């Protein structure tokens, strides 16, 4: 960021990491378009951000599983509200607790549709414009399971691995236009999504959700989990000109919890 005001699309912008990134960008003077399914939550978040300023927040409610139509509608609404986007954070979609064999076929399709196709469609919707203007950064919230596959996160492991691959090839295409694409791999992060995942895990192993959640938090190598704001600081740095030579790669933020190679 630098020479003129940034304009960011943030999918999954109503809560968690997406919301935290929006807060930091608006505080820096950027305009943001928050995208999620819940219009009421989006309107509330945008109102809070506009009270804080100095940047401005807009919102657009849609189902990011409806691709590629949803991505095209988001891109059109962005042009009408914030203008041509210079930043994109793909953050819509979570990680289902499920094994490769016991996950219903529909869940495989649902998670791939929302996260893989959703991220890909948004990248394809904004990348040509960014390349034409030779300005833009795309950050994808992926996850450490994409490099350190987890049997309890079978679908997320596959989705995240596929996203790592497609981000690499798209970064290669965009590099000559000075547009960057980077993946951020959070591990367990202390957000509402963690509580939801703890509930799924507890059901899977037939244990108490509070116990499972406590173990997730205390099991971090640092004894605590990063908050959404911690991950957001990394995202905002990667979107800045200070990170101008970082592209086509993935950066982990999980306190060293993953066991895959660095």
User: pLDDT digits over 194-229, tens only?
Assistant: 666 666 666 777 777 777 666 666 667 777 777 889
User: pLDDT digits over 57-97, tens only?
Assistant: 999 999 998 999 999 999 999 999 999 999 999 999 878 88
User: pLDDT digits over 234-254, tens only?
Assistant: 999 999 999 999 999 999 998
Q: Delimit the domains of the chain by residue range.
A: 7-187+229-246, 188-225
Higher-confidence residue of 226 and 3: namely 226
| % of the chain beyond a pLDDT of 90 | 69
End-to-end CA separation in angstroms for the chain: 28
Tokens representing residue 208 in the block: 């108490």
- Which CATH class, in words, describes the domain spanning 7-187+229-246? alpha beta
3-state secondary structure 131-162: HHHCCCEEEEECCHHHCCCCCCEHHHHHHHHH
């Amino acid at each position: 960021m630098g020479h003129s005001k940034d304009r960011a699309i943030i999918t999954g912008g109503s809560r968690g990491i997406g919301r935290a990134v929006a807060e930091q960008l608006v505080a820096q003077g950027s305009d943001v378009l928050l995208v999620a399914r819940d219009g009421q939550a989006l309107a509330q978040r945008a109102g809070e951000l506009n009270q804080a300023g100095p940047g401005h927040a807009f919102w657009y409610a849609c189902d990011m599983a409806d691709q590629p139509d949803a991505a095209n509608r988001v891109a059109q609404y962005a042009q009408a509200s914030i203008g041509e986007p210079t930043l994109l954070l793909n953050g819509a979609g979570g990680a289902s607790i499920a094994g490769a064999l016991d996950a219903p076929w529909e869940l495989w399709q649902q998670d791939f549709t929302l996260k893989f196709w959703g991220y890909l469609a948004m990248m394809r919707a904004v990348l040509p414009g960014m390349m034409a203007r030779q300005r833009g950064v795309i950050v994808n919230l992926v996850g450490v399971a994409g490099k350190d596959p987890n049997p309890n996160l079978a679908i997320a492991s596959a989705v995240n691995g596929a996203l790592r691959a497609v981000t690499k090839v798209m970064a290669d295409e965009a590099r000559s236009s000075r547009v960057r694409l980077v993946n951020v791999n959070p591990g367990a992060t202390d957000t509402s999504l963690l509580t939801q995942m703890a509930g799924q895990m507890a059901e899977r192993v037939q244990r108490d959700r509070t116990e499972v959640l406590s173990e997730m938090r205390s099991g971090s190598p640092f004894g605590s989990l990063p908050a959404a704001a911690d991950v957001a600081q990394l995202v905002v740095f990667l979107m800045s000109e200070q990170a101008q030579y970082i592209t086509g790669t993935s950066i982990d933020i999980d306190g060293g919890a993953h066991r895959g190679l660095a």
